[in-house]
Amino acid sequence: MSFSIYKTYHLVKSEDLNHHGTLYAGRTAEWFVESGFVAAASLTKPENIVCLKIHGMLFSKPVRKGDLISFESGIVYAGTASLIAYINSKVNEGTVVEGFITFIHVDLEGKTIPHGVILTPETEEEKSLYEQAKALPRS
């Protein structure tokens, strides 16, 4: 299977701002994980997905009140029980935040179990993201 992209959107409101009047990093992290979760849950049951690690959220521009921020996410690497999502957040088609998150596939008691997902990167961009995700620290 090749990569699928999922989009979520949020309108930045007053309650989402920090003391500088820009999007609070904590709110961004919430939306960032939510977006990655949507991608992971699209490949298996949502109740079997838990977040293990945010590998980083690189902020390149501030986001302001009234901006509509989109989060494009896709699973770019699949281990035996892990799924790594790449998330690219944009305002007006310009990237403002990007990074990777590892999710783990678990049973209802929280024990790690295989998910059976196999990904095959096809485009040069997919191959690049696959290699970046593969090189991420596992713990």
Q: What are the pLDDT digits (tens) for 89-99?
A: 999 989 999 99
Residues 6+ apart with CB under 8 A from 35: 6, 8, 71, 72, 73, 85, 87, 89
CATH number at residue 108: 3.10.129.10
Range of the domain at 80: 6-134
Q: Using one digit for the tens of pLDDT, what is the confidence trace for 2-12?
A: 689 999 999 99
> Is 44 part of any domain?
yes
Our CA angle for 47, 48, 54, nearest 5°, is 105
At 139 the pLDDT is 66
Domains identified in the chain, total number: 1
Residues 6+ apart with CB under 8 A from 58: 97, 98, 99
> Is 119 part of any domain?
yes
Say yes or no to pLDDT of 1 above 60: no
Structure tokens at 48: 């079997």
> Is 79 part of any domain?
yes
pTM above 0.85, yes or no: yes
C-alpha 107/C-alpha 111 separation (Å) is: 5
pLDDT band at 138 (very low <50, low <70, confident <90, very high): confident
At 2 the pLDDT is 65
